[in-house]
Chain A
Amino acid sequence: MLLSLNRMGPGRYALYSIGVLVALFLLFPILFIALLSFGSSQWLQFPPPGWTLKWYRDFFDDPRWIAAILTSLKVGLCVMALSIALGLPAAFALVRGSFPGRVALRAFFTSPMIVPIVILAIALYAVFLRLGLNGTFIGFVAAHLILALPFSIICIVNALEGFDEAIEKAAIVCGASKLEAICRITLPSIRLGIFAGALFSFLISWDEVVLGIFMASPSLQTLPVKMWTTLRQDLSPVIAAASTLLIVVTMAVMALAAFIRRRSEP
């Protein structure tokens, strides 16, 4: 390797320090909120005067928090399923198709990543108001799906482009029908891309707050929206507990992704 740590001499300790500092900088807010959630101070005092699990007990004793977390999970899973169900055929069309406007369509499919979310939220609010979808479960899923689809499409398109179509042809020569070849050979070969798209889709919905605020009703709130509305009323350490739980689920999903990736590598 051109840049080898072993040949850098004392300079590498500087490099290590920079790495550790950057990692700490990135981790700081997460560590901070996690520590606060276990702190005994009512007023989010830092460093905490003592340690307690009270805020977690408060969180799980409150049916509104439980409802929010269940809503978030349900919306996230629905978004994940629909994002793959729609993203998979779209990606096949974008990669394999030869219709006019294919390149333009590909750019269009990623446009929700570029449009500012607030604008998207206002537009959706206006449209959903007319359709009567505001404050409904379907409204939540539809709104989050718009944000998630570009990610699943990009993940699957990348995987599909890295898959040699000759392998599918080989399966067909072997006697498999086109559909059989796709289901038994192509899809398993690009499964990492599909998993990645699915996990991204779930996470996007899981921690989305802007669209959620516009879509929510008093009786239907996702976890981030519930946190937001609670925060506007009072600053309680229960928020810190909710935040920590949100982060734990996110990290669990990321760990799952890493685990799957490592296991499927030869």
Chain B
Amino acid sequence: MSSTAPVLVSIRDLVKRFGPTTAVDGVSLDVAQGEFLTFLGSSGSGKTTTLFIVAGFEDPTGGDVLIDGRSVLSVAPNKRNIGMVFQRYTLFPHLSVFDNVAFPLAVRRRPRHEIEQAVKETLALVRLEEFAARKPGQLSGGQQQRVALARALVYKPRILLMDEPLAALDKKLREEIQIEIRRIHRELGVTILYVTHDQEEALRLSDRIAVFSHGRVVQVGSGADLYERPADAFVAGFIGNSNFLPARVRGVDAERTAVELPNGAVVAGRTDSALASGGEASLMIRPEKLFLVNGRDAPDANYDCRVDVTLRDSTYLGDSLQREVVTPWGQCLMVRQTGDAEALSHAGTGAALTLCWHSGDARVFRKTAGSSAPRS
């Protein structure tokens, strides 16, 4: 989404406390018109609470939510004209699919023919025209969520909130509906705020992703931004797979930070934050950015960082070869070889190899308590 689109939703310094716990701790986000923004985080990170404050179901302890530059905090949730799809199945059980989708227009007292026309169009949008007469209990989970989507879109809200709508579905169905959601977003140009804990889903759907942790937004950016330039070890661990190597900062210059690994090898990585020389740090590198060469082979000039390792295990995954290697200090690292997966296919368990990478592909993060390797 182009950054020139006007801001539609503006979340300002949002704080929400439930008794002694702070669920949302100073969240600020601007959402452009037509943007697909995903709140990504584990449970309890404040993403759903933030969404519910935008919907109007929770009042914030502090901060503001603006739509079109006007605060909506004093606007009742039924007057905000926002569409919402919930995590649980929320179709009205006693009404047919048609009447479910017609409900928002019925409470708006729209004329009968207009309702019929709009419901038909919207059911066609989610490809469920032939299910109009069914009751929700006669639909599968995926169909129910598509009806819920139709119900949230039928009154043409400018903003659509989605709270983990696919969490209850199995993987294949989830991917199918993700494609539907992308298509609908493209066709309608509606602004979507989407909550999920599934990083793959976030990457697949979003224009931008806001990573939530402990009630704060840790980083906002496109999927590529978060993957290539994670702001800290938490984001790096949350988006994609990563290796984290313990390191001590040796020297800092404009481009690279040199760090010393536990075995004394000095390597380098890029960094955004200023690090003190001698401080503890953590070097992050993605499994697919690591390369294995035979110890005797000539070093490739592109790979300016090298560590001797021992091969522990190789797993053939079709499109890639996954290797586990052990460093001299006993840490197990993941390496993903694509393309020339054949190159070292003969190397058996216990083979002495050299692990190398380009210093531009590694990142150095300040070591913070508990954040060295959040998740693999």
Contact = CB atoms under 8 A, between A and B. Distances in A.
To the question of whether A and B form a pair in one complex, the answer is: yes
B155 interface: yes
Given A175-B155, A189-B92, A189-B94, A170 B86 contact: yes
Contacts of A189: 92-94
B155 A173 contact: no
A174 B81 contact: no
A167 B147 CA distance: 13
Specify which of A173, A178, A180, A188 lies most central, judged by the most chain B CB atoms within 10 Å of its CB. A173
B84 A173 contact: yes
B137 A167 contact: no
Nearest to B93: A189
Contacts of A170: 84, 86, 90, 92, 148, 151
Interface string A185-213: 10011010000000000000000000000
Interface string A161-182: 0001011011111111110110
A166 B88 contact: yes
A173 B152 contact: yes
Contacts of A169: 57, 77, 86, 90
Chain A interface, >50% SS class? helix
Interface string B32-65: 0000000000000000000000010100000000
Given A166-B88, A167-B90, A189-B92, A173 B107 contact: no
A37 B163 CA distance: 65
Interface in A37-79: none
Interface in B97-118: 103-104, 107-108
Q: Which of A164, A167, A170, A177 has the most CB of B within 10 A?
A: A170
Contacts of B135: 266
Contact of A171 (B76, B81, B92, B138): B92
B90 to A, nearest CB: 4
Interface string B264-303: 0000000000000000000000000000000000000000
Contacts of A180: 107
B11 to A, nearest CB: 18
A188 B84 contact: no
B144 to A, nearest CB: 12
Nearest to A163: B93
Contacts of B87: 166
A180 B89 CA distance: 20
A18 B66 CA distance: 70
A81 B302 CA distance: 84
B307 interface: no
B94 A188 contact: yes
B299 to A, nearest CB: 59
Given A173-B77, A173-B84, A266-B137, A166 B90 contact: yes
B77 A172 contact: yes
Contacts of B151: 170, 174
B93 A167 contact: yes
A149 to B, nearest CB: 26
Contacts of A174: 78, 103-104, 107, 151-152, 155
9 contacts: A166-B87, A166-B90, A167-B93, A169-B86, A170-B148, A170-B151, A171-B103, A173-B82, A175-B79
Interface of B: 55, 57, 76-79, 81-84, 86-94, 103-104, 107-108, 135-138, 148, 151-152, 155
Interface of A: 164, 166-167, 169-178, 180-181, 184-185, 188-189, 191, 264, 266
In order of increasing CB-CB distance, the 4 nearest A-B pairs are A266-B137, A170-B90, A174-B104, A173-B84
Given A164-B89, A181-B78, 17 more contacts: A167-B90, A167-B93, A171-B92, A171-B103, A172-B77, A173-B55, A173-B152, A174-B155, A175-B78, A175-B79, A175-B108, A177-B78, A178-B78, A185-B92, A191-B94, A264-B94, A266-B135
